[in-house]
Structure 1
Amino acid sequence: MHKPQILFVMGVSGSGKTTIGKLLAEKLNIPFFDGDDFHPEANVKKMSEGHPLNDDDRQGWLERLNALALENVSTGAVIVCSALKTKYRRILGNHLEDLHQFVYLKGSFDLINDRLALRKNHFMPKGLLQSQFDTLKEPKKAITVSIDQTPNDMVNEIVEKLQN
């Protein structure tokens, strides 16, 4: 990376955003933020009850993550967030111009569903996975990495693509 950048690691629940985001931040020596930590309590409660969030639920959360990105623009940061829709990515990138990039962790429904079945202590019930795939609009401008490889291989691929 030639200049500090905000890297939004995106994808559906279970795609590995937190794992990859932490490894990537460590490798690049920049701060890591898990977008889930910034959800208001009402959103967490709604998801834990098995209800998908709507755009109104997400608006303030996405604006908070954009503010977080702007606060860290001088050092760069990795922020993980599902960012499933184009309009969500627009909110996240507001006022960041060319100082941000999306890293899309791409995987099949079956692979991710299998991963979610193994998870414990996460507020995203696997029943909501289908709604996430239904909502997902794959980004046209992003570093896209397949999740069917090891986390270290994924991070190395991302870093290589950032340098090109």
Structure 2
Amino acid sequence: MSETTRQPISRRTVAKGAAWSAPVILGGVAAPTYAASGGSPTLSIGGACKAPGKSCKPFEKGYVVTLTITNDSDKDVWLYVPPTITTEGTDLNLGYAGYDDGSGDLQKGHIPIPANSRVTIKLNATASNSANQVFDLTLTFAWGHTPDPADGQDHDLVSATTTIPGTPPDCCK
């Protein structure tokens, strides 16, 4: 009778065989797009002031609102303009004119917010008058991870609401 000695099977051999013997299903439940892209940016509205006539370059006649945008994600985001601007407590019909990012020029493009950063801008809303007003203001933006909204991802809108207690004429400061 001949005896056969068996060598133990290595873990590597078992792993090779397992890779070919049973398919593995990767994935699972689809995660919402925003989960893969990090959290949404947050908005905080600061003070507001009026910009009378054409005396407050670069701002057009109307109102200027300080807006801070925080991006705590590890990806760049863009707020797509124009935002939806709504008011309560006034008959003002505000339109979007642009924003000053600190350069002294009125920017018209979408608003970039680098990853893990905070950006403060002065948003210019046009109006037929620039009287001192008290009102509630809501700014709502679509946003994404590319400068072009057509290439952006499907995210929930971001918005912020605040009560503007008055609009003094100090936008030129």
TM-score when normalising by structure 2: 0.27
Q: Which has the higher helix share?
A: 1
Bigger Rg over Cα = 2
Q: Which has the higher strand share?
A: 2
